[in-house]
Chain A
Amino acid sequence: MSDVQQEVTNLIYREATLLDRREWDDWIDLYTEDAVYWVPSWANEEETTNDPELQLNLIYLRNRGGLEDRVFRIESRDSYASVPLDRTVHLVSNVLVQKEDGDDIEATANCIVHTYGKKGGLTRGSLYDFNLRRINGELKITRKKITFIDDRLEGPIDVYHL
């Protein structure tokens, strides 16, 4: 495995681990200030929406503050949907470096998230598209697109379910 492949894989694994272990601040630190976090909605049975500005998304956060909003709400313990918090296990696989251009890297991965909560166990899948940038020798996420393949959604969907 090349160094870059290993480095990218470690970052994506680390994100999954931080989410499952509720280490929110360290999770947010993986993202740059101007990072985009995008979960499109489904435009039809076969295609998601593809213009995040002018079409409906499930989540579309245009900077790290959007992730901070989510964590603020979870940590407030005042969100009905987030108390009690669902348990999650992320299994990330198929990590591939798609493109390297200086300090910028594009990578894809697949993720299965097993959730346990009021509705019992739910297992759902996503495709991940990452844009990463090496900053001061460290890889950071500048953009993450999550194609959540489930359509008729059961229960709340928050950043730790994805």
Chain B
Amino acid sequence: MYESIIQRDLDALIDDRVSDGMFRVDRAVYTDEAIFEQEVSRIFENCWWFLCHESQVANHGDYFWTDIGDQPVFVHRQEDGSLKCFINACSHRAAILTPFKQGNAKTLTCRFHGWTYKCDGACIGVKNEEEGTEKGKFDLREIARLESYKGFVFGCLNSNICSLEDWLGAAKPWIDLMVVQSPEGLEVVPGSSTYKTDGNWKLQAENSVDGYHVSTVHRVFAHTIAARESKGEYTGIKKTESGRIAGGVPTAGYSLGNGHMSIWAQHTTPEVRPIWEAKDRLEKELSPIEVEWILTKGRNLYLFPNVMLMDNPSTQIRVMKPVSANRVDITVYCVAPKGESDKARAGRLRKFEDFYLTAGMATSDDIAALEDTHEGSMARDAKWSEFKRGIRTFTRGADDDAKALGFEPEVSSDNWDHEVLYHGFYRHWLKMMKGEQAG
């Protein structure tokens, strides 16, 4: 929690003159710690912040410890099946209450002085209670808002915000395309990986929907997969879809409002995707356009400010924890349709491991590029980063694909090499930094 207000002219950070063909961002937005402090208080504490997936807190007493901005919180599954989220600090002297990141406890006892809390946050035990420290006065602090959208759990520290559904807006159909892949919904697969990145969180946000880097940074991934497949060892679902990397396939990018962004690229070999086995069922349950999007369009969705949902070679929840202007910790989970075959699940995981991890053969290259970008941004004498590609050709509102699926973006661009989707991101960022209403 910071109260500082930076002395900068915030409007001067974003050179937004689209009608003149100009959109630039002052690289200080990545490197200035005073700007980061204001992001914490103005943005992170005033927007819907992704916390966890419901499958991570499936049963009564399951808890999940995370942070909103820099404040530790935990989500706790209640006896009646609902969820609550509390500040993760003992009411007494602030010790963290959850011994593990994820676990089960129907009551939580502080390991420092032994104060005890029920699942609903009520303080039910104070060791050697005395006048002034009666247990009835020390219930846990519940966060202002907690809502789920189809299994994805978000919280907000400020009660004065629109509903989660309104916040997600045009991003909702993108989430739906993942959720409807199984009638039982999605589940997070056991295991995860967390990596520290020496770079600003907004560079990670940009990277997740940057189609333009794919044919350079991931060229080596495509070549590696091609060399592998030339040996004939990998067939069917064991193949990793990499045709989009070389380019030449239909692609698009969207600014979805409230800072959310997305891209898609046409898959050249949709039959190797893990969801392919469900094709017949999907065709019975869903509209042809939904089936087409699920099976043939690889999709990356960024939800402002801290989570990305990928359905590309594999399916991923990527969560950011911004630590400072120059560091963001990232945790990745494989999220998968419940009830899929073991063969599809294994194929999904192997594709995830090939591409998406810091120990994988693509995300590691992304991180290196991101860290170099951050380091280059320290060069204050060359202060502008350029977001001009596509500025003369974009479509205001929905393109034909968006209309067909039924979402209303602010801006559509018919090429994922374009950078106009970032305009909406930075406009929303600026609005929140100036303390204007979140959504």
Contacts and interface: CB of A to CB of B under 8 A. Distances in A.
Interface of A: 39-45, 49, 51, 53-60, 63, 65, 68-70, 72-73, 76, 78-81, 118-119, 151-158
B368 A69 contact: no
Contact of B191 (A57, A68, A153): A57
B239 to A, nearest CB: 13
26 contacts: A42-B191, A44-B100, A44-B103, A53-B349, A54-B189, A54-B345, A55-B191, A56-B189, A56-B352, A59-B357, A60-B350, A65-B234, A68-B228, A72-B227, A73-B220, A73-B224, A76-B223, A80-B217, A80-B369, A81-B365, A81-B367, A153-B193, A153-B359, A154-B196, A155-B358, A157-B364
Contacts of A53: 342, 346, 349
Contact of B193 (A41, A51, A70): A41
A45 B100 contact: yes
Given A59-B359, A60-B353, A78-B219, A43 B190 contact: yes
Interface of B: 100-103, 189-196, 198, 217, 219-221, 223-225, 227-228, 231, 233-234, 329, 333-334, 342, 345-346, 349-350, 352-353, 357-361, 364-369, 371-372
B190 A80 contact: no
B220 A54 contact: no
A61 B430 CA distance: 45
Contact of B189 (A55, A63, A152): A55
Contacts of A68: 228
A49 B357 CA distance: 15
Contacts of B360: 59
Given A53-B342, A65-B233, A155-B358, A79 B349 contact: no
B50 to A, nearest CB: 19
Contacts of B329: 152
Contacts of A79: 220, 361, 364-365
Contacts of A57: 191, 349, 353
Contacts of B368: 80-81, 156
Contacts of A59: 353, 357, 359-360
Contacts of B364: 79, 81, 156-158
Given A56-B334, A58-B359, A63-B233, A153 B217 contact: no
Contacts of A158: 359, 364
Contacts of B372: 80
Contact of B231 (A65, A70, A118, A155): A65
Contacts of A44: 100-103
Contacts of A76: 220, 223-224
Closest 10 CB pairs of A and B: A56-B191, A156-B364, A41-B191, A157-B359, A81-B364, A78-B220, A80-B365, A80-B368, A49-B191, A81-B368
A68 to B, nearest CB: 8
A125 B345 CA distance: 30
A138 to B, nearest CB: 24
Contacts of B366: 80
B359 A39 contact: yes
Given A63-B233, A81-B368, A54 B101 contact: no
A148 to B, nearest CB: 8
A55 B190 contact: yes
B359 A156 contact: yes
Given A78-B223, A80-B365, A154-B195, 19 more contacts: A43-B190, A43-B191, A44-B101, A45-B101, A49-B191, A54-B346, A59-B359, A65-B231, A65-B233, A68-B228, A69-B361, A78-B219, A79-B361, A80-B368, A81-B368, A152-B196, A153-B193, A154-B196, A156-B368
Contacts of A73: 220-221, 224, 361
A152 B192 CA distance: 10
B100 A152 contact: no
Contacts of A43: 190-191
Nearest to A63: B233
B219 A56 contact: no
Contact of A56 (B103, B193, B194, B195): B193
B357 A58 contact: yes
Contacts of A69: 224-225, 227-228, 361
Contacts of B228: 65, 68-69
A54 B342 contact: yes
Contacts of B367: 81, 155-156
Contacts of B102: 44
Contacts of B334: 56
A56 B372 CA distance: 28
A58 B372 CA distance: 24
Contacts of B191: 40-43, 49, 55-57
Nearest to A64: B233
Contacts of B346: 53-54
B365 A153 contact: no
